[in-house]
Chains A and B, each alone.
Chain A
Amino acid sequence: MSTGSSSSTLSSARIGVITFPGTLDDRDAARAVRLAGGVPVPLFHADGDLQGVDAVVLPGGFSYGDYLRAGAISRFAPAMDAVVDAARGGMPVLGICNGFQVLTESHLLPGSMVKNDHLHFVCREQVLAVENAGTAWTNQYTAGQRITIPLKNQDGQFVADERTLDELEGEGRVAFRYVGTNPNGSRRDIAGITNSAGNVVGLMPHPEHAVEAGFGPDSDAGQRAGTDGLGFFTSVLASLVHA
Protein backbone atom coordinates (compact mmCIF):
# COMPACT_ATOMS: atom_id res chain seq x y z
CA MET A 1 0.00 0.00 0.00
CA SER A 2 2.71 2.44 0.94
CA THR A 3 4.75 4.56 -1.38
CA GLY A 4 6.85 5.69 1.56
CA SER A 5 9.92 3.66 2.39
CA SER A 6 10.65 4.72 5.94
CA SER A 7 7.91 2.80 7.72
CA SER A 8 9.24 -0.48 8.94
CA THR A 9 7.68 -0.22 12.38
CA LEU A 10 4.39 1.17 13.62
CA SER A 11 5.94 4.01 15.54
CA SER A 12 7.92 5.35 12.61
CA ALA A 13 4.96 5.62 10.25
CA ARG A 14 4.37 9.28 9.42
CA ILE A 15 0.80 10.28 8.69
CA GLY A 16 0.24 13.71 7.15
CA VAL A 17 -2.78 15.80 8.18
CA ILE A 18 -3.58 18.64 5.77
CA THR A 19 -4.89 21.96 7.05
CA PHE A 20 -6.95 24.04 4.62
CA PRO A 21 -8.34 27.50 5.42
CA GLY A 22 -11.47 26.62 7.40
CA THR A 23 -10.39 23.13 8.46
CA LEU A 24 -11.61 22.37 11.99
CA ASP A 25 -10.56 18.85 12.90
CA ASP A 26 -6.91 18.73 11.92
CA ARG A 27 -5.69 18.66 15.51
CA ASP A 28 -8.15 15.90 16.43
CA ALA A 29 -6.97 13.88 13.43
CA ALA A 30 -3.32 14.39 14.45
CA ARG A 31 -4.18 13.32 18.00
CA ALA A 32 -5.88 10.18 16.68
CA VAL A 33 -2.77 9.29 14.68
CA ARG A 34 -0.65 9.77 17.78
CA LEU A 35 -2.94 7.69 20.02
CA ALA A 36 -2.86 4.89 17.44
CA GLY A 37 0.93 4.88 17.60
CA GLY A 38 1.87 6.85 14.50
CA VAL A 39 3.63 10.16 14.02
CA PRO A 40 1.33 12.95 12.81
CA VAL A 41 2.88 15.39 10.34
CA PRO A 42 1.10 18.73 9.88
CA LEU A 43 0.81 19.66 6.20
CA PHE A 44 -0.40 22.97 4.77
CA HIS A 45 -2.74 23.30 1.79
CA ALA A 46 -0.52 25.80 -0.02
CA ASP A 47 2.53 23.52 0.09
CA GLY A 48 2.81 20.92 -2.65
CA ASP A 49 5.48 19.02 -0.72
CA LEU A 50 4.04 16.13 1.28
CA GLN A 51 7.32 15.77 3.20
CA GLY A 52 7.60 12.09 2.44
CA VAL A 53 4.65 11.04 4.60
CA ASP A 54 3.40 7.45 4.35
CA ALA A 55 -0.31 8.33 4.33
CA VAL A 56 -2.53 11.41 4.42
CA VAL A 57 -5.67 12.37 6.33
CA LEU A 58 -7.94 15.11 4.92
CA PRO A 59 -9.76 16.28 8.05
CA GLY A 60 -13.23 17.71 8.53
CA GLY A 61 -14.34 21.31 8.70
CA PHE A 62 -15.56 23.93 6.30
CA SER A 63 -12.63 24.56 3.99
CA TYR A 64 -13.06 27.86 2.15
CA GLY A 65 -16.36 28.25 3.98
CA ASP A 66 -17.93 25.56 1.77
CA TYR A 67 -18.22 28.33 -0.84
CA LEU A 68 -19.27 27.20 -4.31
CA ARG A 69 -19.61 23.57 -3.18
CA ALA A 70 -18.13 21.79 -0.16
CA GLY A 71 -14.55 20.84 -1.03
CA ALA A 72 -14.68 22.43 -4.48
CA ILE A 73 -12.00 25.05 -3.95
CA SER A 74 -9.72 22.95 -1.70
CA ARG A 75 -9.51 20.43 -4.48
CA PHE A 76 -7.27 22.84 -6.40
CA ALA A 77 -4.83 23.45 -3.52
CA PRO A 78 -1.17 22.61 -4.33
CA ALA A 79 -1.16 19.97 -1.58
CA MET A 80 -4.09 18.23 -3.29
CA ASP A 81 -2.22 17.87 -6.58
CA ALA A 82 0.44 15.98 -4.65
CA VAL A 83 -2.17 13.92 -2.78
CA VAL A 84 -3.94 12.95 -6.01
CA ASP A 85 -0.65 11.80 -7.56
CA ALA A 86 0.38 9.88 -4.44
CA ALA A 87 -3.06 8.29 -4.05
CA ARG A 88 -2.95 7.04 -7.63
CA GLY A 89 0.43 5.52 -6.72
CA GLY A 90 -1.13 3.64 -3.80
CA MET A 91 -0.55 5.92 -0.81
CA PRO A 92 -3.34 5.54 1.78
CA VAL A 93 -5.60 8.61 1.93
CA LEU A 94 -8.53 9.07 4.33
CA GLY A 95 -11.07 11.84 3.83
CA ILE A 96 -13.30 12.61 6.80
CA CYS A 97 -16.46 14.72 6.30
CA ASN A 98 -15.18 17.81 4.47
CA GLY A 99 -12.16 15.68 3.52
CA PHE A 100 -14.55 13.17 1.89
CA GLN A 101 -16.09 16.06 -0.04
CA VAL A 102 -12.60 17.11 -1.19
CA LEU A 103 -11.93 13.53 -2.36
CA THR A 104 -15.09 13.43 -4.48
CA GLU A 105 -14.36 16.87 -5.94
CA SER A 106 -10.84 15.58 -6.74
CA HIS A 107 -12.38 12.55 -8.49
CA LEU A 108 -10.41 10.17 -6.28
CA LEU A 109 -13.80 8.84 -5.17
CA PRO A 110 -17.07 8.85 -7.15
CA GLY A 111 -20.32 10.60 -6.29
CA SER A 112 -20.83 13.83 -4.42
CA MET A 113 -22.40 15.28 -1.31
CA VAL A 114 -25.39 17.61 -1.31
CA LYS A 115 -27.30 19.26 1.51
CA ASN A 116 -28.93 16.92 4.06
CA ASP A 117 -32.42 15.99 2.84
CA HIS A 118 -33.99 17.58 5.95
CA LEU A 119 -31.88 20.78 5.51
CA HIS A 120 -30.70 20.78 9.13
CA PHE A 121 -27.21 20.48 10.49
CA VAL A 122 -27.01 17.11 12.20
CA CYS A 123 -24.78 16.17 15.15
CA ARG A 124 -25.20 12.75 16.70
CA GLU A 125 -23.50 9.57 17.75
CA GLN A 126 -24.00 7.39 14.69
CA VAL A 127 -23.97 3.62 14.38
CA LEU A 128 -22.26 2.35 11.23
CA ALA A 129 -21.77 -1.09 9.74
CA VAL A 130 -18.27 -1.75 8.44
CA GLU A 131 -19.04 -3.24 5.04
CA ASN A 132 -15.52 -3.55 3.68
CA ALA A 133 -12.85 -4.57 6.21
CA GLY A 134 -10.19 -4.98 3.54
CA THR A 135 -9.11 -1.37 2.95
CA ALA A 136 -6.01 0.38 4.20
CA TRP A 137 -8.20 2.19 6.75
CA THR A 138 -10.52 -0.65 7.87
CA ASN A 139 -8.40 -3.80 8.11
CA GLN A 140 -8.51 -3.85 11.93
CA TYR A 141 -12.32 -4.21 11.84
CA THR A 142 -14.31 -7.26 10.80
CA ALA A 143 -16.86 -7.18 7.99
CA GLY A 144 -20.30 -6.45 9.41
CA GLN A 145 -18.93 -5.00 12.64
CA ARG A 146 -21.03 -2.21 14.16
CA ILE A 147 -19.17 0.87 15.33
CA THR A 148 -20.39 4.13 16.88
CA ILE A 149 -18.67 7.40 16.00
CA PRO A 150 -19.84 11.03 15.88
CA LEU A 151 -21.52 12.46 12.79
CA LYS A 152 -21.80 16.23 12.28
CA ASN A 153 -22.55 17.84 8.96
CA GLN A 154 -24.82 19.95 6.82
CA ASP A 155 -23.89 18.72 3.34
CA GLY A 156 -23.76 15.03 4.12
CA GLN A 157 -26.19 13.49 1.67
CA PHE A 158 -24.18 11.12 -0.53
CA VAL A 159 -25.49 11.02 -4.10
CA ALA A 160 -24.39 9.30 -7.29
CA ASP A 161 -26.20 8.00 -10.35
CA GLU A 162 -27.72 4.51 -10.19
CA ARG A 163 -25.00 2.98 -12.36
CA THR A 164 -22.25 4.29 -10.06
CA LEU A 165 -24.15 3.07 -7.00
CA ASP A 166 -24.55 -0.40 -8.54
CA GLU A 167 -20.85 -0.42 -9.37
CA LEU A 168 -19.91 0.53 -5.80
CA GLU A 169 -22.14 -2.22 -4.41
CA GLY A 170 -21.00 -4.82 -6.94
CA GLU A 171 -17.32 -4.18 -6.32
CA GLY A 172 -17.64 -4.13 -2.54
CA ARG A 173 -16.66 -0.49 -2.43
CA VAL A 174 -19.32 0.60 0.04
CA ALA A 175 -17.04 0.81 3.07
CA PHE A 176 -19.61 1.95 5.67
CA ARG A 177 -23.39 2.09 5.86
CA TYR A 178 -25.60 3.97 8.30
CA VAL A 179 -27.41 1.62 10.69
CA GLY A 180 -30.74 2.30 12.39
CA THR A 181 -31.38 5.66 10.82
CA ASN A 182 -30.26 7.37 7.67
CA PRO A 183 -29.27 10.79 9.05
CA ASN A 184 -29.05 12.76 5.81
CA GLY A 185 -30.82 10.99 2.95
CA SER A 186 -27.66 9.38 1.56
CA ARG A 187 -28.35 6.96 -1.30
CA ARG A 188 -28.57 3.37 -0.13
CA ASP A 189 -27.58 4.42 3.42
CA ILE A 190 -23.97 4.89 2.27
CA ALA A 191 -21.78 6.56 4.90
CA GLY A 192 -18.40 5.93 3.29
CA ILE A 193 -16.79 4.42 0.22
CA THR A 194 -13.41 3.25 -1.02
CA ASN A 195 -11.63 3.27 -4.37
CA SER A 196 -11.07 -0.08 -6.05
CA ALA A 197 -7.48 -0.35 -4.78
CA GLY A 198 -8.65 0.14 -1.17
CA ASN A 199 -6.10 2.84 -0.37
CA VAL A 200 -8.47 5.82 -0.64
CA VAL A 201 -11.40 5.89 1.79
CA GLY A 202 -13.89 8.68 2.47
CA LEU A 203 -16.73 8.90 4.97
CA MET A 204 -18.96 11.56 6.50
CA PRO A 205 -18.82 10.51 10.19
CA HIS A 206 -15.78 11.32 12.33
CA PRO A 207 -13.61 8.43 13.58
CA GLU A 208 -11.03 10.88 14.96
CA HIS A 209 -13.54 11.99 17.63
CA ALA A 210 -13.80 8.46 19.05
CA VAL A 211 -10.25 7.44 19.88
CA GLU A 212 -9.78 8.01 23.61
CA ALA A 213 -11.89 6.84 26.54
CA GLY A 214 -13.40 9.83 28.32
CA PHE A 215 -13.66 11.88 25.13
CA GLY A 216 -15.67 9.66 22.79
CA PRO A 217 -19.29 8.64 22.28
CA ASP A 218 -21.17 6.80 25.02
CA SER A 219 -20.62 3.06 24.88
CA ASP A 220 -21.31 -0.11 26.85
CA ALA A 221 -18.11 0.63 28.74
CA GLY A 222 -19.55 3.92 30.03
CA GLN A 223 -20.24 7.53 29.24
CA ARG A 224 -17.96 8.95 26.55
CA ALA A 225 -15.94 5.73 26.70
CA GLY A 226 -16.31 4.85 23.01
CA THR A 227 -13.11 4.42 21.01
CA ASP A 228 -14.54 2.74 17.92
CA GLY A 229 -12.78 5.21 15.62
CA LEU A 230 -9.27 4.23 16.66
CA GLY A 231 -9.34 1.25 14.27
CA PHE A 232 -9.08 3.56 11.26
CA PHE A 233 -5.70 4.75 12.40
CA THR A 234 -4.36 1.40 13.65
CA SER A 235 -5.53 -0.05 10.31
CA VAL A 236 -3.44 2.31 8.24
CA LEU A 237 -0.41 1.72 10.46
CA ALA A 238 -0.89 -2.05 10.03
CA SER A 239 -1.26 -1.68 6.26
CA LEU A 240 1.97 0.31 6.11
CA VAL A 241 3.87 -2.31 8.09
CA HIS A 242 2.63 -5.08 5.82
CA ALA A 243 3.16 -3.12 2.62
Chain B
Amino acid sequence: MGRVVVEVMPKPEILDPQGKAVVGALPRLGFTQFSGVRQGKRFELEVEGEVTPEVLEAARQAAEKLLSNPVIEDVVRVADASQESSGAVA
Protein backbone atom coordinates (compact mmCIF):
# COMPACT_ATOMS: atom_id res chain seq x y z
CA MET B 1 0.00 0.00 0.00
CA GLY B 2 1.28 3.43 -0.96
CA ARG B 3 0.85 6.75 0.71
CA VAL B 4 1.06 10.30 -0.59
CA VAL B 5 1.81 13.15 1.77
CA VAL B 6 0.27 16.56 1.09
CA GLU B 7 1.26 19.56 3.16
CA VAL B 8 -0.67 22.83 3.16
CA MET B 9 0.43 26.05 4.86
CA PRO B 10 -1.29 29.40 5.38
CA LYS B 11 0.01 31.96 2.89
CA PRO B 12 2.83 34.09 4.31
CA GLU B 13 0.79 37.29 3.98
CA ILE B 14 -2.18 35.81 5.88
CA LEU B 15 -1.95 36.28 9.62
CA ASP B 16 -2.05 32.81 11.16
CA PRO B 17 -4.00 33.25 14.42
CA GLN B 18 -3.35 29.68 15.56
CA GLY B 19 0.39 29.96 15.03
CA LYS B 20 0.31 33.26 16.88
CA ALA B 21 -1.38 31.63 19.86
CA VAL B 22 1.19 28.83 19.90
CA VAL B 23 4.16 31.20 19.76
CA GLY B 24 2.64 33.09 22.67
CA ALA B 25 2.47 29.91 24.75
CA LEU B 26 6.05 28.70 24.13
CA PRO B 27 7.91 31.18 26.37
CA ARG B 28 5.67 30.24 29.28
CA LEU B 29 7.21 26.75 29.05
CA GLY B 30 10.73 28.12 28.88
CA PHE B 31 11.08 27.89 25.09
CA THR B 32 12.32 31.39 24.45
CA GLN B 33 14.24 30.59 21.24
CA PHE B 34 11.26 30.67 18.91
CA SER B 35 10.16 34.02 17.52
CA GLY B 36 7.42 32.74 15.21
CA VAL B 37 5.15 29.74 14.60
CA ARG B 38 3.02 28.98 11.59
CA GLN B 39 0.57 26.10 11.73
CA GLY B 40 -0.34 24.14 8.63
CA LYS B 41 -1.97 20.84 7.69
CA ARG B 42 -0.57 17.47 6.69
CA PHE B 43 -2.73 14.98 4.76
CA GLU B 44 -1.85 11.35 4.13
CA LEU B 45 -3.62 9.90 1.09
CA GLU B 46 -3.54 6.11 0.88
CA VAL B 47 -3.69 4.12 -2.35
CA GLU B 48 -4.04 0.37 -2.82
CA GLY B 49 -1.04 -0.01 -5.10
CA GLU B 50 2.17 1.85 -5.78
CA VAL B 51 2.49 5.60 -5.78
CA THR B 52 2.82 6.11 -9.53
CA PRO B 53 3.38 9.45 -11.28
CA GLU B 54 -0.35 9.36 -12.13
CA VAL B 55 -1.25 8.96 -8.45
CA LEU B 56 1.01 11.88 -7.57
CA GLU B 57 -0.59 14.01 -10.26
CA ALA B 58 -4.08 13.13 -8.97
CA ALA B 59 -2.92 14.03 -5.45
CA ARG B 60 -1.66 17.39 -6.74
CA GLN B 61 -5.04 18.08 -8.31
CA ALA B 62 -6.90 17.04 -5.15
CA ALA B 63 -4.58 19.29 -3.15
CA GLU B 64 -5.42 22.28 -5.34
CA LYS B 65 -9.14 21.57 -5.64
CA LEU B 66 -10.16 20.38 -2.17
CA LEU B 67 -7.33 20.11 0.35
CA SER B 68 -6.30 23.76 0.06
CA ASN B 69 -7.95 27.10 -0.64
CA PRO B 70 -5.61 29.15 -2.87
CA VAL B 71 -6.95 32.40 -1.40
CA ILE B 72 -5.49 31.66 2.03
CA GLU B 73 -3.21 28.63 1.64
CA ASP B 74 -0.29 27.25 -0.38
CA VAL B 75 0.30 23.58 -1.17
CA VAL B 76 3.95 23.30 -0.15
CA ARG B 77 4.52 19.58 -0.65
CA VAL B 78 3.04 16.61 -2.51
CA ALA B 79 5.27 13.58 -2.17
CA ASP B 80 5.46 9.79 -2.00
CA ALA B 81 5.61 9.03 1.73
CA SER B 82 8.08 6.19 1.17
CA GLN B 83 10.57 8.73 -0.18
CA GLU B 84 9.93 11.38 2.43
CA SER B 85 13.58 11.74 3.37
CA SER B 86 14.37 12.82 -0.18
CA GLY B 87 12.46 16.02 0.53
CA ALA B 88 10.65 16.07 -2.80
CA VAL B 89 8.57 19.22 -3.16
CA ALA B 90 5.52 19.66 -5.34
Residues of A participating in the B interface, judged by any CB pair closer than 8 Å: 68-69, 72, 76, 104-105, 110-112, 114-119, 157, 159-161, 185
Chain A residues whose C-beta falls within 8 Å of the C-beta of B67 in the assembled complex: 68
Q: Is B21 an interface residue (CB 8 A)?
A: yes
- In angstroms, Cα B14 to Cα A117, docked, is 11
Residues of A within 8 A of B13 (CB): 161
User: Would you give the shortest CB distance from B75 to chain A, in whole angstroms?
Assistant: 13
Contact B72 A72, beta carbon cutoff 8 Å = no
Given the interface pairs A72-B66, A161-B13, the reply to whether A112 lies near B71 with Cβ below 8 Å is: yes
- Please, how many angstroms separate the alpha-carbon atoms of A105 and B68 in the complex? 10
The reply to whether A114 and B66 form a contact with Cβ atoms under 8 Å apart is no
Docked-complex contact B66 and A115, CB < 8 angstroms: no
* B47 within 8 Å of A (CB atoms): no
Interface of chain B residues 1 through 44 with chain A (CB within 8 A): 10, 13-15, 17-18, 21
Across the interface, do A114 and B21 meet the contact criterion of CB distance under 8 Å? no
Number of A-B contacts (CB under 8 A): 36
A206 to B21, CA, bound (A): 28
B69 at the A interface (CB under 8 A)? yes
Separation in Å of the B9 CB from the closest CB of chain A?
13
Residues of B within 8 A of A (CB): 10, 13-15, 17-18, 21, 66-67, 69, 71-72
Chain A binding site: helix, strand, loop or mixed by DSSP? loop
- Which of these, B18, B21, B71, contacts A159 with CB under 8 Å? B71
B residues in contact with A159, CB < 8 Å: 14, 71-72
CB distance from B27 to the nearest CB of A (A): 17
Q: Indicate whether A112 sits within 8 Å of B66 (C-beta atoms), given known contacts A119-B17, A119-B21, A159-B14.
A: no
Q: Are A111 and B17 neighbours in the complex by a CB distance under 8 Å?
A: no
In the complex the two chains form, what is the Cα distance from A119 to B21 in whole Å?
8
Of the candidates B14, B18, B66, which one forms a contact with A68 in the assembled complex, judged by CB atoms under 8 Å apart? B66
**Chain B residue with the shortest CB-CB distance to A70:** B69
CB distance from A114 to the nearest CB of B (A): 6
Nearest residue, chain B, Cβ from A104: B71
Pick the residue among A72, A105, A116, A160 that contacts B17 (CB under 8 A).
A116
> Please, which residue of chain A has its CB at the minimum distance from the CB of B43?
A68
Docked-complex contact B18 and A119, CB < 8 angstroms: yes
Task: Establish whether residues B66 and A160, one from each chain, have CB atoms under 8 Å apart when the complex forms.
Answer: no
User: Judging by beta carbons under 8 Å apart, are A115 and B71 in contact?
Assistant: no
**Can you name the residue of chain A whose Cβ is closest to the Cβ of B67?**
A68
Closest chain-A Cβ to B50's Cβ sits at a distance in Å of 27
Closest residue of chain A to B68, judged by CB? A69
Q: How far is the CA of A52 from the CA of B14 in the complex (A)?
A: 40
